[in-house]
Structure formats: structure tokens, C-alpha cells
Amino acid sequence: MEKFDVIFLGSGHAAWHAALTLQSAGQSVAIIEKDTIAGTCTNYGCNAKILLEGPYEILEEASHYPGIVESDQLKVNWNELMNYKKEVLTPLPNMLQSRFEQQGITVIKGMGQFVDKHTIRVNNQLIEANHIVIATGQHSNKLNITGSELTKDSRDFLSLEEMPHSITFIGAGIISIEFASIAIKSGAEVHVIHHNEQPLAEFNERHIQKLVEKLQSEGVQFHLNEQTEAVVQTDNRYQVKTASGLTIDTDYVLDATGRKPNVHNIGLDELGIAYSDKGIQVDNHLRTNVPHIYASGDVLDKDIPKLTPTATFESNYIAGQILGINEDAIQYPAIPTVLYSLPRLSQIGITTKQAQDNDQYTVKDIPFGKLMLFEFKNEIDAEMSIVLDSNKHLVGAEIYANDAANLINLVTFIVNQQMTAQDLNQLVFAFPGSSSGVLDMLKVAMM
């Protein structure tokens, strides 16, 4: 029986960062992967999404210059865009597997399952390890409704050979809104069905309302407070039916009602490893109730956002734990979250909603789009809401802008380093530019 120092179940960001660190430190490492090497984000998630969205950002920016840019002459060739996506992403799994193997990591393709606390069975082979890291991620949820087998998921959408003439999203969360922003600019008829009246409840309510109204102005049809009950095939099309009697005829139905952790059929029950519907339960060292078995990434039951950077952070932390470099409990920094819609929404730290009824916080609004027309590419709706504590430290921010992802990364440094306006005044930023202008306005607001 082959034995390793560490075995990883899964090969995504929650696994491979630690695997490389451990291997370079002299540990023997194996990665077991039942699907595509490097996981969902690299192959069917973040990378594919941002790559496909790129050309639509150009359309979005062009729309801010009516009469100057003939935006009605611009369009995206979806077929060529998909070919481009394949050209960029298809080689990545093999490239990363080669990198892992060149570093001395053993890569095993197959379904890994615990046999006992130190042994994994894969492809009818038994392998042992001193430490095991569960990094199996999540899978798309399917509603328990009639016709659920007819619905597609995010992975399917990101591999569409042709954009459907009409598309219906079930759920108004991150996946639906991001994809709806793309589909409507491709000329598709877009419907979004949501079970309550509040899409994207985790983001700034005013920003969500602005985004929904903007998408509606482009043609997206929102159906709120509607419970989806069935999807029925009619010839080559589908009907989506709700409890209220609403019926939508459509060419494509995407179930975007969330994701669930991959905790089943890997032997957790046999070992007594604790988990819930939200994922594997761990202590503040990311250890399961079996101390030498860790869990990392989206498979965790945690309140921290389930994001690729979070998984990477946890992966690096576990490597330090196993090597004995860091014995402290995990301490997460403030973590930014981005909605890659058009325009984007982002946030970090204390939200304005959390701050409203707390005397120790002050909320300020910065409408930088209206005040920085040339610097911010005429995006007049762009704005930021910030939260300051009693010491005038920036502890939270929420941004509505095309450049919200880059701006929130700048804000992340300010929040995590507890920088003051005086600290920022000691730095010199490039000018003119959207980030420098926003930072200037932010410094004034923090004084």
C-alpha cells in the first residue's frame, strides 16, 4: 500500500496551493480528483465567467457615451467568444497537472472515499496518509420540482455553443444576475423568477434596486414572489410554471438556486466526521472532529464567504498547520465580495445595514460617478457607501460601479491595515485615474 504524508481529496484552489507548499517543504503529497484537474473555478466557474464577460464590459462602457460612441453598432459574436474561451481554458487542466507532477506531487484521477481515518480507496487502490485534507467543493443545487431534470446549471451556461433566443433563470442570486447581464446584451429574452421580493439580499439594498431597474430598462423581466413548481417540455421549448399560475415559454431554463457541498459518498459517515447541509464542520484550526483530517474551501460549513480567494487562504493556512509553522487559530481578514454584473457591485466589512442602528458607526455616501465624469468614464451612477468607526477608521464599504472589483481591492488594504486619512495622505497615487480620484474623495470622507 502506497503511503503519503498528505492526501488531498480535490484539486481546486482549496487543495493545490497547500499541496505545492507541502511538497516543496519535503512532504510526500497526493491529489485525488474525480472530475477536471484544478476544480470548478479554473474550469467551469470564475475563469470562464470573467473571460466570457470581458467583451460585454466594452458594450457597457460604450453605453455611457451616447452620441459619441455608436454603441448600437457593437455586438458580441457568441460563437467566436466561446471558441476563444475554449482556446484559453481547455489547456489549463493538463498544464496544472504537469506542474503538479513536475513538482513531485502524485495525481490520481478517480473518486476518493475514506476506508478508515488514514486510508483512502480510489480506483480499487488503497493509499494511506498521515494527514488528509477534504477539498471537494460544491455542486449546483436542483429544485425538487417536476421537470428538474430539464433544467441546466451554471456549468452548462458557461459552455453554451449558442446563446438561446430566450432564457429563464430560476433564482435571483449571484449566478442569475451575472448571467442575465450577459444574456440581455446578447439579444436574448431574459426572465428571472425569484421566490421572494428581494434579489441579492447580501448586497447594499439601494445598489440592488438600481441594478434591477437598470437590467429592467435593458429588457430583463423579473418575476418576484413566485414559487417555481414545474418545468414542462413542449416540442423543442419549455414552459416554466409557478404556484401563482404564471407560465413562461422559454428555450432554456437555468436552475440557479444555490450550491451544495460535496459531502456525500466520500465516507464521512463511516468515520463519524460531522457535517451539515451547509458543509463539513471544523474547529478554528480547520480540523474536523478527526484531528489529522482537515477541510478547506467551499465544502466547509462556515459563515465566511465561499469564494476562491477564501479557499486559497484556507489552503495556505492548512499547509502552515501541517508543517508546524503556524499553530495559531485561523484569523480571517476582512474579505471583499464582488457581483460581476454590469455594472458590478462589491462590498467589504461592516455593511451599511449593520451600521444603521449602531452608534459606534457612521455611514457616508460618495457619489463619485457624478463628481468624476472624465476620470470615471462618464458613469454617473457610480457610487460608494462607506462605514467609519468611532476612530474614523474605514471598516466597511459598498460600491456600485463598473470598476467596483478593482476599487474594492484598494479598499481592502485600507480596511485590513486600519489606515487613516492621514496614512493615505502620505502616499502618492497616479493621476488622472478612477482609483486616485476615488481615493481622494475617500480621504476627505474619512476626516
Domain annotation covers residue 232: yes
- CATH number, residue 371: 3.30.390.30
Nearest Cα to Cα of residue 401 among 173, 214, 184, 190: 214
Q: Which pLDDT belongs to residue 374?
A: 74
Total of domains in the chain: 3
Residue 246 in grid coordinates: 404564471
SS3 category, 229: strand
- Statement to judge: residues 279 and 385 lie in one domain: no
Last residue of a domain, one of 241, 257, 273: 257
Which residue segment(s) compose the domain that 251 sits in? 148-257
Cβ of 67: how many Cβ atoms within 10 Å?
6
What interhelical angle do 78-89 and 46-62 show, nearest 10?
140
Q: Is residue 126 part of a domain?
A: yes
Same domain, 14 and 133: yes
Answer yes or no: do 18 and 44 share one domain.
yes
Q: Is residue 337 included in any domain, yes or no?
A: no
**Do 358 and 280 share a structural domain?**
no
Residues 268 and 253 in one domain: no
Low pLDDT (below 50) residues in the chain: none
Cβ burial of 444 (10 Å; 0-12, 13-18, 19+) is exposed
Instruction: State how far the Cα of 36 lies from the Cα of 33, in Å rounded to an integer.
Output: 7
Same domain, 291 and 280: yes
Amino acid at 304: I
Q: Which residues contact 191 (CB under 8 A, 6 or more apart)?
A: 166, 167, 168, 169, 220, 221, 223, 240, 248, 250
CATH number of the domain bearing residue 197: 3.50.50.60
Closest alpha carbon to 299 in 112, 429, 87, 24: 112
String of b and e for 2-14 (b: at least 16 CB within 10 Å)? eebbbbbbbbbbb
Whether residue 50 is contained in a domain is answered as: yes
**In sequence order, what are the residues at sequence separation of 6 or more whose Cβ sits closer than 8 angstroms to the Cβ of residue 278?**
261, 301, 302
Task: Write the DSSP assignment of 415-438 as a string of letters.
Answer: HHTT--HHHHHT----SSSHHHHH
Long-range contacts of 363-370 (CB under 8 A, 24+ apart): 363/387, 363/388, 364/388, 364/445, 366/438, 366/441, 366/442, 366/445, 368/401, 368/437, 368/438, 368/441, 369/401
Exposed / middle / buried, residue 384 (Cβ in 10 Å: 0-12, 13-18, 19+): buried
Bridge partner list, 127: 2, 120
Q: Are residues 108 and 17 in the same domain?
A: yes
Are residue 31 and residue 118 in the same domain, yes or no?
yes
* 437 domain-assigned: yes
Residue 208 belongs to a domain: yes
Residues 125 and 99 placed together within one structural domain of the fold: yes
In a domain, 330, yes or no: no
d(CA 168, CA 189): 8
User: Among 237, 257, 277, where does a domain finish?
Assistant: 257
Q: Does residue 331 lie in a domain region?
A: no
Dump pLDDT digits (tens) for 74-107. Answer: 999 999 999 999 999 999 999 999 999 999 999 9
Task: Answer yes or no: are the C-beta atoms of 392 and 420 closer than 8 Å.
Answer: yes
In 3D space, the residue among 248, 166, 174, 255 whose CA is nearest the CA of residue 211 turns out to be 174
Note the pLDDT tens digit of each residue in 318-374. Answer: 999 999 998 899 999 999 999 999 999 999 999 999 999 899 999 999 999 888 877
Residue 186: how many other CB atoms lie within 10 Å: 19
The whole-angstrom separation of Cα 11 and Cα 95 is 13
| The residue to which cell 455593511 is assigned | 351
130, 264: one domain = yes
Could you tell me if 111 and 17 lie in one domain? yes
Residues 273 and 176 in one domain: no
Q: Which of 191, 246, 238 shows the shortest CA–CA distance to 219?
A: 191
Residue that is last in its domain, among 323, 355, 378: 323
User: What pLDDT is stored for residue 313 in this prediction?
Assistant: 98
Choose among 216, 217, 199: nearest CA to 208: 199
